[in-house]
Amino acid sequence: NAGVTQTPKFRVLKTGQSMTLLCAQDMNHEYMYWYRQDPGMGLRLIHYSVGEGTTAKGEVPDGYNVSRLKKQNFLLGLESAAPSQTSVYFCASRTTSGWAQYFGPGTRLTVL
């Protein structure tokens, strides 16, 4: 039981490049989330999903897209990376009634 895993762990992009971050969970959780963490700002929600095939915008969705084609996977895409997207990205998941979210180890992204 690996819990929540994220791929890759580190990535450096140039401005304008695109990439996809993968989140996978093996706990059969319905809800999944993508956050970004910046110093002094806590965690801010980018997008979330309440089930396979559904997605919704969070607090800071601009510049990001997501897809949830399979229940266990939640993908975060950056179509044209900007330096302002330099951050640590965390994925999380939870059950429908459990309320507590379980987090992955994070992806550190640098955009030059």
Partner 1 sequence: AQSVTQLDSQVPVFEEAPVELRCNYSSSVSVYLFWYVQYPNQGLQLLLKYLSGSTLVESINGFEAEFNKSQTSFHLRKPSVHISDTAEYFCAVSSPNDYKLSFGAGTTVTVRA
Size of the site for partner 1 (CB under 8 A): 22
Q: Is there a contact between 93 and 3 (Cβ–Cβ < 8 Å)? A: no
Least gap, CB of 54 to partner 1 (angstroms)? 11
Segment contacting partner 1 by CB under 8 A, of 18-26, 33-41, 67-75, 78-86: 33-41
Segment contacting partner 1 by CB under 8 A, of 18-26, 62-70, 79-87, 96-104: 96-104
Least gap, CB of 90 to partner 1 (angstroms)? 6
Q: Pairing mode, if any, of strands 4-7 and 56-57?
A: unpaired
**102 makes contact with partner 1 (CB under 8 A):** yes
The only residue of 1, 28, 62, 100 in contact with partner 1, by rule CB under 8 A: 100
Enumerate the β-bridge partners of residue 67.
75
Paired tokens of 83? 């330096």
Q: Is there a contact between 85 and 55 (Cβ–Cβ < 8 Å)? A: no
The Cα–Cα gap between 53 and 89 comes to: 22
